[in-house]
Structure 1
Amino acid sequence: IQGKLPMGSTVVPIIISTDKTELSQFTGDATAYPIYMTIGNIDSSIRRQPSRHAQILIGYLPTTAIEKGDMSDLAVRNARAQLFHAAVRAILEPLRDAAATGIPLKSSNGEVRNCHPVLAVYAADYPEQSLVACTRYGSRCPKCKASKDE
């Protein structure tokens, strides 16, 4: 990617992470689904320290239940997946534009560079990996073509 950019431009590897969270231990029905962003140019020892604020909250994904009505279980699962993907697409849309055109950002040495943010990593636990990869939870690996029996 770097070789395709104009001279003086740089790639900014974007790392996205999500983790659906229970907000109440007593009722069990209040959840939040935050989506965080950081960049790969920041040293991992800094990114892992919450006190360094290297990750920012960029949005919340919907956690509302989908009324089943007369839909099949498969239709409900598909509707949830479509809702998830539509929300992620909307949240990350500004990155698509910035990746194509670049955005001027000041580097650590004070020089302004034309930066192209590129989604490099989506960090998630196994259930969320399955959702992101559009694979059925428990049926196959969301990262490769291995079935659950392999």
Structure 2
Amino acid sequence: MQVRITPPSKSSPHVFLKSELPRDATLLGIMLSSDKTCITALTGNRVAHLLLISLANIHMNTRLKSSSNTFLLTALLPVPKFVHRKKQMKGVLQDRLVHQCLDVVLEPLKSAAQLGIMMSDPIRHSHYCFTPLASYIADTPEAMMLACVGGKTSPVTMAMYKQFGDAF
């Protein structure tokens, strides 16, 4: 998104980089993380998917320190208990609800990634910023839910468990 390589021409055999962003725009890569967790202590089994957000340009050693507070809580996504006679249907409904909630919560982020948004820095200078999603951190059950796969299927490929040893 930040730069696009233009192919060389006969008049100029060198490869040029051309910015796709407007002049003086800032690219702020976003990292999201979510995990299903218990949100009540000793008062019942209330669970939710925590949705956390951070900037991608923060150094990993800083991000890993919990005292640095680099991830901010963005939303608590619900984990409802649906009443349906088929177990598979309950899982589909739960996953669909989380996807709908993510769509609503992340709508401003998606808009800022496409159109840009004016933001101020710590010394109150305004910058035209774009916020594309750089990464999404999730454990295997979360990744399977986000990829809309279930059972023994890989969340990053189309392989089923019977094909895991197949090189193709």
- Same-fold call, TM cutoff 0.5: yes
The 3-state SS of whatever aligns with 2:130 is strand
Q: TM-score, normalised by structure 1?
A: 0.86
Q: How does 1:1-150 map to 2 (within 5 A)?
A: 1-3=1-3, 4-23=20-39, 29-68=45-84, 71-107=85-121, 112-136=126-150, 138-149=151-162, 150=164
CA 1:40–1:108 in 2, change beyond 3 Å: closer, same or farther?
farther
CA 1:109–1:148 in 2, change beyond 3 Å: closer, same or farther?
farther
Q: TM-score, normalised by structure 2?
A: 0.77
The 3-state SS of whatever aligns with 1:61 is strand
Task: Work out whether residues 22 and 28 of structure 1, in 8 Å CA contact, stay in contact via their aligned partners in 2.
Answer: no
The whole-number CA distance in structure 1 between the counterparts of 2:74 and 2:133 is: 14
CA 1:105–1:27 in 2, change beyond 3 Å: closer, same or farther?
closer
Q: List alignment gaps of at least 5 residues for structure 1.
A: none
The whole-number CA distance in structure 2 between the counterparts of 1:25 and 1:112 is: 43
Instruction: Please provide the CA RMSD for this pair.
Output: 2.2
Task: Work out whether residues 52 and 72 of structure 2, in 8 Å CA contact, stay in contact via their aligned partners in 1.
Answer: yes
Larger radius of gyration: 2
Size of the alignment, in residue pairs?
147
Residue 18 of structure 1 aligns to which amino acid in structure 2? S
Q: What is the CA distance between 1:146 and its match in structure 2? A: 2.5
Q: What is the CA distance between 1:53 and its match in structure 2? A: 1.5
Residue 97 of structure 1 aligns to which amino acid in structure 2? S
The whole-number CA distance in structure 1 between the counterparts of 2:121 and 2:46 is: 41
The 3-state SS of whatever aligns with 1:129 is helix
